[in-house]
Structure 1
């Protein structure tokens, strides 16, 4: 079964540097992880495994910690889950360069969702579900006040963001 692993905080701002070729090599050394591919330097892994997604996340997390010394959160999803997330995007009719997906590693509490939804910035929209925050910064992510870190802090969950182009590529690679 194909799995897509999203790593949090790898190769961002010079921290937790891992060369993707070295990561692929380390992952392929595991018997239960096969056909490992990576996409761009920001921590996207596509692999085959008979393990369930929680076991894949745990194994990838442990291997990164052992091989590279980083405690990196890993979220594993199927192609079907990624397709469903993309299909449910309420901002799909907007500029494709301004569509972001903040993947949540756990379900946020209702009170934290309510605290976040009370925040309002001109030209920034978001919709929260149990698994993802759909984010639409109308002037672009670089000029936005909200960020992955803000969503994490307000929702009190680990999260990692990807843009629409990355999401679409991961869906294709997971075929």
Structure 2
């Protein structure tokens, strides 16, 4: 069995799309997942599966959530090696961040068209910065994630792919948990 990490977008935010992690873990057993663990309430699931294709897992998890919770949730599935790539290649990780800000990473469901990425990069997001590498966008929000105009919705609309973001602390915790599951 291979270890995967499912990143759910937009659950348990501002009272919308509420899913208890304990219930989500129980529901995911229907997909024959093993060693299911969740991290915080924002939809981070580490699991093992005999499935080999992340795209197939994304579809199955989304369909199962729709069936049990009656709303759609975009899902991006990554592997431990994907997370390690992100950790090793974050251009903001070695920079000193002002205050208590930290880098974020947006995980894309697929590599976007180059033209679409150029459209996104041409938008003035003030002091916020983005650097794309493959299926990942590394972000630094000058005044924190709560005030940025560089949101997942903008990223998805401009790139025409699913996107979900995690802060640097969460990325490292998911790596730690995924390693413990292998």
TM-score, length of structure 2 as denominator length:
0.88
> Conserved in 2, the CA contact under 8 Å of 1:4 and 1:76?
yes
Provide structure 1 residue ranges, at least 5 long, that are not aligned to the other structure.
none
What is the CA–CA distance in structure 2 between the aligned matches of 1:9 and 1:73, rounded to whole Å? 8
1:47-84 per-residue CA deviation (whole Å, 9 max, x = no partner) reads 01111123322222221111111221211111111010
Pairing 1:29-108 to 2, within 5 Å after superposition: 29-30=30-31, 32-52=32-52, 53-94=54-95, 95=97, 97-108=101-112
TM-score, length of structure 1 as denominator length:
0.92
What is the CA–CA distance in structure 1 between the aligned matches of 2:161 and 2:107, rounded to whole Å? 10
SS at match of 2:58: helix
Report how far residue 129 of structure 1 moved.
2.7
Calculate the aligned-residue CA RMSD, in Å. 1.6
1:95-152 per-residue CA deviation (whole Å, 9 max, x = no partner) reads 3732000111122122111111112333211112331111111222123222222212
What is the CA–CA distance in structure 2 between the aligned matches of 1:101 and 1:153, rounded to whole Å? 17
What is the CA–CA distance in structure 2 between the aligned matches of 1:60 and 1:143, rounded to whole Å? 31
Instruction: Say if 1:56 and 1:156 are closer, same or farther in 2 by CA, change over 3 A.
Output: closer
Residue of 110, 113, 117 corresponding to 2:114: 110
Query: Stretches of 4+ moved more than 3 A in 1?
Result: none
SS at match of 1:47: strand
> Conserved in 2, the CA contact under 8 Å of 1:28 and 1:35?
no
What is the CA–CA distance in structure 2 between the aligned matches of 1:122 and 1:16, rounded to whole Å? 30
What is the CA–CA distance in structure 2 between the aligned matches of 1:37 and 1:105, rounded to whole Å? 22
